[in-house]
Every structure is written in C-alpha cells, then in structure tokens.
Amino acid sequence: MDMSGSYRIGAPRQAVWTALNDAEVLKLCIPGCEEIEQTSPTTMTARVVQKIGPVKARFNGAIELLNVNAPQSYTIKGEGQGGVAGFAKGAADVTLSEDGGETVLEFEARAQVGGKLARIGSRLIDAAAKKVARQFFDNFHDHLNGKDPPGD
Amino acid sequence: MSTGIGARVQRKEDKRYITGKGKYTDDVRNESQAYAAFVRSPHAHANVNGIDTSAAMAMDGVIDVLNGQQLTGDGIGNIICGWAITSKDGSPMNMGAWSALATSKVRYVGDAVAVVIAETQALARIAAEAVEVDYEVLPAVAASDKALAGGAALIHDNAPGNLIYDWEIGDGAATDAALAGAAHVTELAVTNNRLSPNAMEPRAAVATFDECDDHYTLYTTSQNPHVARLVLSAFYQVAPENKLRVIAPDVGGGFGSKIFIYPEEITCLWASMKTNRSVKWTSDRSEAFITDAHGRDHITTAKMGFDAAGKIVGFKVDTIANFGAYMSLFSSSVPTYLYATLLSGQYNIENIHCNVRAAYTNTVPVDAYRGAGRPEACFLVERMMETAAREMGKDPTDLRRANFVQEFPHQTPVIMAYDAGDFGANLDQAMAAADVAGFAARKAESAGRGKLRGLGYSSYIEACGIAPSAAVGSLGAGVGLWESAEVRVNPVGTIEVLTGSHSHGQGHETTFAQIVAERFDLPLENVSIVHGDTDKVQFGMGTYGSRSGAVGMSAIVKAMDKVEAKVRKIAAHVLEASEDDIVIEGGQVKVAGTDKAMGWHEVGLSAYTAHNLPPDMEPGLKEGAFYDPANFTFPAGTYICEVEVDPETGVTDIVQFTASDDFGTIINPNIVEGQVHGGIAQGIGQAMLEQVVYDDDAQLVTGSYMDYAMPRASDVPSFSVHHASTTCPNNPLGMKGCGEAGAIGSPPAVINAITDAIGSNDLAMPATPQAVWNAIQAAK
C-alpha cells in the first residue's frame, strides 16, 4: 500500500521539526498511541491500539528515524507486532518546506500488513491508513497551536 | 412404494441433520476436556529464532505450551505425501520435511509454531496471543511460475528451484509431429483458479490419551478414518494401530479437504499424551482459510491440432501446479494421474503429451478438492474444443461429435481405458432439454433489451471408482484402493452393514440400505449402516473420488452374495429342498412352487441357535468382503449453460443450466440430483465467484467471506438435470459415480457461454462482473 500527501501546518519549520522528533508530542498525536519511549536520539518503542475493520489489535513496535537532515527531512520507519492480528510495517519519507511563517509537510509512505490484518482487513487498509494519517496531522497541527486532542 | 434400487427414498439421516441433532466432532465433550489453540505464523516465510512462552505459561488456566522441538523430540514423524511421482529424468520427487509444529522455519501464513493447551477455548486463544515468536523474515513467493523462475526464495533445501517434480506422460515426439502436420492448430493459455474448500463444518479433533491402557482415541472430521489411523500409526508414530481408535462421526461436508491428515490432529494426539488431558481443537472459519488444503491452482498452455476435416490429430499440454508450502497427503497425484490421464476428454485423440512441473510456494498446501485434477483437465479440453470450433468456424457440437469416442472399450494414449458410454446420447439429450433450437430467437429477444446472450457447452468425462489397487500401485500410490464391507444378519433378521466408506453428506445410510433391502426384499428400516469407527469397521479406504457407490457398494454386494449363499443352504436344509429352488422374497425364504417357507428372521435365528444346521456349517450369519475394482469408472455427460450478460456492467445471469449425465445405475435419484445440484453450484462458484488471492508478499488477502465469494442461492438458476445412462460393465451394480461430475463439468460450460455472449475468448475464472466488463472493453 502506497500513500502520499501534503499538509500545511500553522507553525514555523524549526518548531515543526522539533515536535516531530519529540516522543511526547508523537504520543499525543498518534491516534491510539498508549505509550512511546525514546530509546536513543533516533529510536523509540511504542504501543499503539488500532482497529481496522473487524480486527482490533495492540501493536508493540519499534520506530526508527533514518536519513535525518534537520530541519528539512527524515525517513520514519516503524514495525509493529499485533499478536494474532498479525503485523504492520511501513516507512514514510517526510519533507518540511517553509512557506511564509508556516510549514508545508509532504510525505510518501509505504505500508505492509500481514497475518489476520491482511486476510480480513486488506481491503480496508488504505482507508484506515489515510484516516490515521489525517488524524495524526490534524492532532499535530492542533498541538502546535495549543490545542491538544482529548486523551483516549 | 419400492425402496429398492432406483427409488426416490427420503434420506434416513436427514431427521437428525435437519433438527440440529447431528453428532459432530465438536459435540464430543470428555470428562477431562482441555482445549488447544495454535500459534500461527503471520509471515509467509521466516526463520524461527526463538519462542518465548513465559507470559502464556504464567496465565491462569494454561496447562502447557508445546512447540515443534518437543514434538519432533518425542519422535513424532513428519507429514508425508503418500503417492510417489517420478520425474521424467528418473529422479524421485523432492519432498520437503513437514513437521506438525514448525521447528526452525515457517513456510506459509498459518504455519503452526506452537500450541497452547488450556482449560477453555477462550483462554487457549488468549494465551496463544501471548506467545512471542522471534521471526527472521525471509523473501516469499506465492505464484507457482514465479517460484520456478530463477531467483525466487528457496522454500525447501532439498527442492532446488522450488521444483518438486518435472513429469510427463504420452509421446512428445509423436505429438509434436502430429501438430506440425495439422491443418489448424489452436493455442490456449488457461489458469485454473485456486479455491478454498469451505465445508460447512470446520475441521475439528478431540484426542484422548488413556495412560492406563496406553491407548488413544481420536474423534476427527475425516472422510477416511482408517487411512487416518494407518498414517498416524505408520508414518507419524503417534501410536501403534491397536492402540489408536479413530472415529469420524457425523461430518458436515468434506469435498476432499477432510481426506488429508493435518498437523492439528497429530498435535492434539501428542498433546493429550503430554498433558494427560483430553485435547480438543475446533477450527474457526478464519483458521480454515489458512489451514484447510486449497484446490486447483494450475497455469497451463496447450496446443491442439486438427486435420482439414476437423479431426483432432494431437494435443500438447504444459502445466505448472502450485503445491503450496508442503506436500499434502495426495497432492502429487492430483496434477498427474488424476489430471493428465483425462486429457483425451470424450474424444478419440491419437497423440497426447503433457508435461507437469510441481512447485513449492509460500502458500497453504494444495491437494484434492471436489474433482481433483479432473476439473482442471475438463476445463482445458472443453475450453479448447469451443475455442477451436470458433477459430475454424465450426459449430461446437459438430466438432465434438466428429471427435467423440464411438466404440468401447477405448484405450486413450494417456493410460485410461474407457469401458462404456454414449457421448452422443448425452449431447442429444442436453440439447433437446436446453432447447438449443430456440436459442437464436432468445438471443434476438435479449439483444432487443440491450443484453448479450450466449450458449456454452461442456462434454465432460471423468474417472471415478478409484481404483484398481495394482494399477495405482504401479503408478506410485502408497495404498490399495479397494473397499471392504461386512453384512451382519442378526438373530432377529435385522441387518447391520459395516462399510469402509464414510458418509459426510452423501446419504450412505439411505442408499446403502436400499441395495440391501432390495436384495433380501426387506423393509428399509430393518437395515442399518455402520461406518466411521475403526473399532467397529475392520478396515476401509474411505470416501473420495466418487468411489463409494462403484467400490463401496460393490463390496457390500460381494458380502451379500456370501450371506445369500449361506441363507440358501440353511433354508434348503431346514425346508428339505434344493438350494437352487430357494426364493427370497416378501420377508420369507421359500421353496419355489411349494407352500414351504420360513420367515427371513427364522433363518437368522436358525443360524444363531445352530440347533439344526447343515453338517459342517459354522453358526452365525455374518459375511465380509473386500472388493478391488477391475477398472476406473467413467461418468460422462454434456452440460449446457445459457447466460445473459449486461454489457454496461458485466453482470452475468445464468438463465439456464442443463445437465445430461451418464452415471450408470442410479440407486436413489433424489440423492444423485442433489449431488449434481451441489456440484454445479460449486462449479459455478469456481467459474464466476471464487478465488484465493495472495499478495506479492504471499500474504493471503481473501481470508473471510468479505473477500472470498461463495455461491449463494441467487447466483444459480433452477438446474435442469437429466440422465442418459449406460451400464458400467466393471462392477456388479453397473454404477459409475456422481459426486464430482457437477463440479468437473460445469466451469467450462459457464466460461464458454460468457465468451460466446461477449464475442471475446479472453476471459479467465472467476468471471466476475469486473472481469467480464474488462473483457468486453478490451475486445472493442
């Protein structure tokens, strides 16, 4: 599954970059994120609950930042095990560009699912991934503008 | 009303099925019942570097978590394929090791790596989720042609290039020469889509170890409990045969998928011994999609040559068969001796050559599914005939007739010797019933409504009555394929028939009783059929390949011959008459032309009281027989499908489906018609709806009924079913078999009809509305 998009975020690029590298901010903004822990400057572990169609799973995963070119771009790579639900893994190339006082975030993502997620949820993955991405960026935009989403 | 051969008797077993009182494996609950849940790989191909069971073991209610190292360490053997196929270079097939629980590597999504035994099914499943497996993911391949192409991931070390065998049949040079000299050659590439079997009852197993007697009892969803016991004992070393009882009680459909011995039964037996508990596993539908052996999955290219008059001169076929990640029990025979031997179809073809390459892939193992090889052969031959007729501008029925085998017996160049048939009679009957003469008017009427109407034929032949033991032995089978029966006349004259055939929907309790009631002229309710228990029935090869009539009932007839001989002797002795004058009718055993008679029950009583038997006669009235068929049987017929396609949407409506079958002798028309209806529905499912799909990473993406489309009542028409029969000369009842014909004969009729309607021959199964619409657009 491939997906790409672009979002305009009402904050300067350096602020966006800093937030994108902050585990606490990511925890607040990733939908269903229960826990995230920075294990090194470029690695984190996370626990995320996601529901895709009829399959609900708690993913325990690792996140890694690659190709870091502050404050312009990085590749964020994640892999999560969802128990009997299967697994999900993916990567996104994220680029930030300045536009006035705001920032345009563009991303190109590739994702793969396996196990029950693929068997039962495959035709729902695209829609679910787009929804999760949109929620994340909405939350992220709101966070940088002082409006954090309600907790789970 | 007659209840004998040919009578439309209501099925004796239906009361319990219809009222929900059937006794299935999952209905078995033992005193010490525990439940198994399998930990299955979400990856298509991975090394297993470690299994952490600590979290699962710590859960309340978890009895044990067992893995493949323990299983193989206890001496449980690998799962084997029981039919040896030799490659054309003389080398044996490359069978990779298959442990019931993977030891170091998983090879398809669903491969089991561990099993949790817990107090309840829910607990077992929750604990299975807590087992952490360290997988090292490897590249995977799902398509057979890609698996055989260079550079694909290697699935088994002892199968280089993922090739299991490269086999051929027929004379390649002669076929090439015939094609070179042909006036017309038709080339065709077809894919036979991969199917999931979907029996109504999912597979299940309840294994109970008795430590006092060192004895195991296994209830399981099997089409052949004796074969299961044989294989579990001889190859998997679970227990010696005298220490293992296998019971297959009511079984809710099999379609081939319950022939095979799977990892789950083996694991439950072993786990019962390890935990000293009765262990039950019941598949759910999701698990069934990734554990029940799939069917079909052939990729084929073929050429058929004709002379100027339209006579077939040669047929050359090249097929790749997808075997999945492991070789299932009869997998090797399906694309070889059950497929290539039927490539002559109903036609007199002098030169046939077929090459088959079998490939390992990272998918669920593939084995026999209703028809098993014969649907693949029929689809190829009948698509070829229709395509060739279109290319040569001939009427497809004329082309078939010009090539029909007319004289019997007929030896084909691919082993089979057809013993009887009248192919023209079936074609005539089907054409009359389908009102082919009125088709042009119906097509014009459809066109007036903007619809495309098409007519498609399929003149199928298949081989049933599997099989003469010496013949299949010479071809590599690991077992003989005879059947056994025992006819027990009780002291009160009622009869029990113990049969090695197994009924999982076929209605044996009715049809088998009918032949006994007819033979001894007794009420049907006086005859009971016993099957499915290795402690009751001495031995049997089970039910598959439409063999229960031609082989199973023949064994009953042989046993009845012996019973009748003894009855005559007893009656002649008691009534002081000649054996030759004894007549059995109306519940009596009489002396012809006199008023001397004794009741049938009195003969039984005489046999057991033994007060007045002929000198040297043993008491009792019970006889057994083993019947080994002399030949395969050859059911055949013509199916005609008429469709109406909406060119705007590609939606296809089957407006009429006509069948004319030659099944030989028919015992119960109700049951035979039911078999034909079900078979055609499955064939229409394959042709228009069903397909197992793997993505590029070998992940199964059709794992539920949201994505795997089964035929529903609204997808099929009211079938028009007819019979024009010839008698099979090779078994005592003249039967041929009817269980698979519908699924074998129908797919090409459907695709021939749709391609006729849309005027384009380029259409693969399943012909979904999208596929049909695309074919219409591509042809514009």
Can you read off the two tokens belonging to residue B226? 């004796």
How many domains does chain A contain in total?
1
Can you read off the two tokens belonging to residue B404? 């029909």
- Rg (alpha carbons) of chain B, rounded to whole number: 27
Question: Are A87 and B704 within 8 A, CB to CB?
Answer: no
Mean pLDDT of B609-613: 97
Can you read off the two tokens belonging to residue B512? 């088998």
pLDDT value at position B735? 97
Asked whether residue B473 is assigned to any structural domain, the reply reads no
Chain mean pLDDT for chain B:
97
Judged by average pLDDT, the poorest of A97-101, B319-323, B732-736 is A97-101
Asked whether residue A150 is assigned to any structural domain, the reply reads no
In 3D space, the residue among B232, B191, B185 whose CA is nearest the CA of residue B771 turns out to be: B191
Contact list, B40 vs chain A (CB under 8 Å): 84, 115
Task: Write the single-letter amino acid at B42.
Answer: P
Can you read off the two tokens belonging to residue B285? 């539908």
Contact list, B700 vs chain A (CB under 8 Å): 118-119
Can you read off the two tokens belonging to residue B10? 């209501």
Asked whether residue A137 is assigned to any structural domain, the reply reads yes
Question: Are B707 and A123 within 8 A, CB to CB?
Answer: yes
Question: Are A119 and B697 within 8 A, CB to CB?
Answer: no
* Three-state SS at B507: coil
Phi, psi (rounded to 5 degrees) for B497? -110, 120
Q: How far is CA A13 from CA A16, A20, A109, B304, in A?
A: 5, 10, 21, 69
- Distance from C-alpha of B475 to C-alpha of B85, rounded to nearest angstrom: 8
Instruction: Please say which residue of B627, B662, B692 terminates a domain.
Output: B627
- Distance from C-alpha of B494 to C-alpha of B605, rounded to nearest angstrom: 11
Mutation target to probe the A interface, by most A beta carbons within 10 A, among B109, B136, B770 is B109
- The chain A residue lying nearest B110, using CA atoms, is A115
A-contacting residues of B 551-580, CB under 8 Å? Answer: none
Rounded to 10 degrees, the C-alpha dihedral B532/B535/B539/B542 comes to 10
Dihedral sign (CA B472, B475, B477, B479): positive
- Measured at the CA of B583, the angle between CA B581 and CA B589, to 5 degrees, comes to 115
For the domain that residue A27 is a member of, what is the CATH number? 3.30.530.20
Cβ-in-10-Å burial (0-12, 13-18, 19+) of B447 comes to exposed
- The chain A residue lying nearest B134, using CA atoms, is A81
**pLDDT more than 70, % of chain B:** 100
Q: How far is CA B115 from CA B37, B125, B288, in A?
A: 6, 10, 16
B125: contact with A, CB 8 A cutoff = yes
Asked whether residue B403 is assigned to any structural domain, the reply reads yes
For the domain that residue B521 is a member of, what is the CATH number? 3.30.365.10
- Distance from C-alpha of A152 to C-alpha of B322, rounded to nearest angstrom: 47
Residues B372, B234: one domain? no
pLDDT at position B82 over 50: yes
Question: Are B128 and A84 within 8 A, CB to CB?
Answer: yes
Complex prediction ipTM = 0.82
- Among the partner-chain residues A87, A120, A122, the one whose CB lies closest to the CB of B42 is A87
- Distance from C-alpha of B393 to C-alpha of B537, rounded to nearest angstrom: 57
Instruction: Please say which residue of B610, B627, B644 terminates a domain.
Output: B627
B653: contact with A, CB 8 A cutoff = no
- Among the partner-chain residues A83, A114, A118, the one whose CB lies closest to the CB of B129 is A83
Question: Are B704 and A122 within 8 A, CB to CB?
Answer: no
Asked whether residue A131 is assigned to any structural domain, the reply reads yes
For the domain that residue B92 is a member of, what is the CATH number? 3.90.1170.50
- Among the partner-chain residues A84, A112, A123, the one whose CB lies closest to the CB of B129 is A84
- Among the partner-chain residues B125, B286, B697, the one whose CB lies closest to the CB of A119 is B286
Asked whether residue B177 is assigned to any structural domain, the reply reads no
Q: How would you classify the pairing of strands A33-40 and A2-9?
A: unpaired
- Among the partner-chain residues A84, A114, A123, the one whose CB lies closest to the CB of B699 is A114
pLDDT value at position B1? 60
Instruction: Calculate the CA A60 to chain-centre distance.
Output: 14
- Measured at the CA of B550, the angle between CA B545 and CA B551, to 5 degrees, comes to 80
Tell me if B273 sits within 8 A of B70, measured CB to CB.
no
pLDDT category at A51 given cuts 50, 70, 90 is: confident
- Among the partner-chain residues B109, B289, B707, the one whose CB lies closest to the CB of A114 is B109
Tell me if A71 sits within 8 A of A14, measured CB to CB.
yes
- Residue B710 carries which DSSP code? -
Mean pLDDT of B122-135: 94
Residues B430, B494: one domain? no
Contact list, B702 vs chain A (CB under 8 Å): 119
Mutation target to probe the B interface, by most B beta carbons within 10 A, among A122, A124, A125, A126 is A122
- Compute the count of residue pairs across chains A and B with CB atoms less than 8 Å apart: 54
Contact list, A116 vs chain B (CB under 8 Å): 42, 286, 703
Asked whether residue B380 is assigned to any structural domain, the reply reads yes
Residue B337 belongs to what domain range?
A: 298-467+631-779
Residues B507, B436: one domain? no
Mean pLDDT of B642-664: 98
pLDDT category at A106 given cuts 50, 70, 90 is: very high
Phi, psi (rounded to 5 degrees) for A140? -65, -45
Predicted structure pTM score:
0.94
* Three-state SS at B373: coil
pLDDT at position A152 over 60: no
pLDDT category at B372 given cuts 50, 70, 90 is: very high
Dihedral sign (CA B384, B672, B203, B212): negative
Residues B324, B218: one domain? no
Dihedral sign (CA B567, B570, B576, B577): positive
Residues of A with CB under 8 A from a CB of B: 83-84, 86-87, 112-116, 118-120, 122-123
User: Strand pairing partners for A88?
Assistant: A80, A113
Can you read off the two tokens belonging to residue B483? 């059947």
- Measured at the CA of B630, the angle between CA B625 and CA B632, to 5 degrees, comes to 115
Asked whether residue A149 is assigned to any structural domain, the reply reads no
Q: How far is CA A10 from CA A23, A100, A102, B67, in A?
A: 20, 10, 5, 54
pLDDT value at position A2? 84
pLDDT at position A127 over 90: no
Residues B311, B280: one domain? no
B124: contact with A, CB 8 A cutoff = no
Contact list, A86 vs chain B (CB under 8 Å): 42
Residues B34, B122: one domain? yes
Give per-residue pLDDT as tens, B18-48: 999 999 999 999 999 999 999 999 999 999 9
- Distance from C-alpha of B124 to C-alpha of B218, rounded to nearest angstrom: 20
Number of Cβ within 10 Å of residue B770's Cβ equals: 12
Q: How far is CA B671 from CA A60, B12, B223, B498, B684, in A?
A: 54, 12, 18, 21, 20
* Three-state SS at B365: coil
Asked whether residue A125 is assigned to any structural domain, the reply reads yes
Cβ-in-10-Å burial (0-12, 13-18, 19+) of B719 comes to buried
In 3D space, the residue among B498, B465, B385 whose CA is nearest the CA of residue B634 turns out to be: B465
Dihedral sign (CA B483, B489, B490, B496): positive
Task: Write the single-letter amino acid at B762.
Answer: D
Q: How far is CA B429 from CA B260, B319, B462, in A?
A: 38, 34, 19
Give per-residue pLDDT as tens, B491-522: 999 999 999 999 999 999 999 999 999 999 99
- The chain B residue lying nearest A58, using CA atoms, is B129
How many domains does chain B contain in total?
3
**How far does A68 lie from chain B, in Å, by closest CA?**
26
Residue A21 belongs to what domain range?
A: 2-144
Buried b (16+ CB within 10 A) or exposed e, B532-557: bbbeebebbbbbbbbbbbbbbbbbbb
Residues B458, B570: one domain? no
Mean pLDDT of B599-609: 97
Residues B207, B121: one domain? yes
Per the model's pLDDT, the better-predicted residue between B466 and A54 turns out to be B466
In 3D space, the residue among B663, B659, B643 whose CA is nearest the CA of residue B651 turns out to be: B643
- The chain A residue lying nearest B37, using CA atoms, is A84
Give per-residue pLDDT as tens, B159-176: 999 999 999 999 999 999
- Distance from C-alpha of B230 to C-alpha of B239, rounded to nearest angstrom: 10
Contact list, A119 vs chain B (CB under 8 Å): 109, 286, 289-290, 699-704
Asked whether residue B180 is assigned to any structural domain, the reply reads no
Cβ-in-10-Å burial (0-12, 13-18, 19+) of A22 comes to middle
Question: Are B704 and A119 within 8 A, CB to CB?
Answer: yes
Residues B72, B204: one domain? yes
Contact list, A83 vs chain B (CB under 8 Å): 129-130
Residues B672, B604: one domain? no
Residues B281, B308: one domain? no
Question: Are B703 and A118 within 8 A, CB to CB?
Answer: yes
- Distance from C-alpha of B94 to C-alpha of B92, rounded to nearest angstrom: 6
H or E element at residue B300: strand B298-306
Residues B614, B650: one domain? no
Dihedral sign (CA B717, B720, B726, B731): positive
Gap between the terminal Cα atoms of chain A: 27
Task: Write the single-letter amino acid at B241.
Answer: E
Q: What is the largest CA-CA distance in chain B?
A: 87
- Among the partner-chain residues A86, A120, A122, the one whose CB lies closest to the CB of B42 is A86
Give per-residue pLDDT as tens, B285-336: 999 999 999 999 999 999 999 999 999 999 999 999 999 999 999 999 999 9
Judged by average pLDDT, the poorest of A52-66, B185-199, B409-423 is A52-66
Alpha helices in B12-159 (DSSP H): 14-18, 54-57, 68-73, 121-130, 144-148
Question: Are B129 and A122 within 8 A, CB to CB?
Answer: no
Asked whether residue A152 is assigned to any structural domain, the reply reads no
Question: Are A118 and B695 within 8 A, CB to CB?
Answer: yes
B703: contact with A, CB 8 A cutoff = yes
pLDDT at position B139 over 70: yes
Contact residues for B765 (Cβ-Cβ < 8 A; gap 6+):
B191, B192, B193, B379, B686, B687, B688, B691, B747, B751
B43: contact with A, CB 8 A cutoff = yes
**pLDDT more than 90, % of chain B:** 98
- Distance from C-alpha of B584 to C-alpha of B567, rounded to nearest angstrom: 9
Number of Cβ within 10 Å of residue B3's Cβ equals: 19
DSSP string, B405-439: --SSSEE-SSS-EE----HHHHHHHHHHHTTGGGH
Q: What strands lie across the sheet with B352-359, from one edge to the other?
A: B163-170, B352-359, B312-322, B298-306, B184-192
**How far does A94 lie from chain B, in Å, by closest CA?**
25
Instruction: Calculate the CA B655 to chain-centre distance.
Output: 28
Question: Are A123 and B289 within 8 A, CB to CB?
Answer: no
**How far does A102 lie from chain B, in Å, by closest CA?**
40
Asked whether residue A151 is assigned to any structural domain, the reply reads no
Q: How far is CA A28 from CA B153, B179, B219, in A?
A: 41, 71, 53
- Distance from C-alpha of B520 to C-alpha of B514, rounded to nearest angstrom: 10
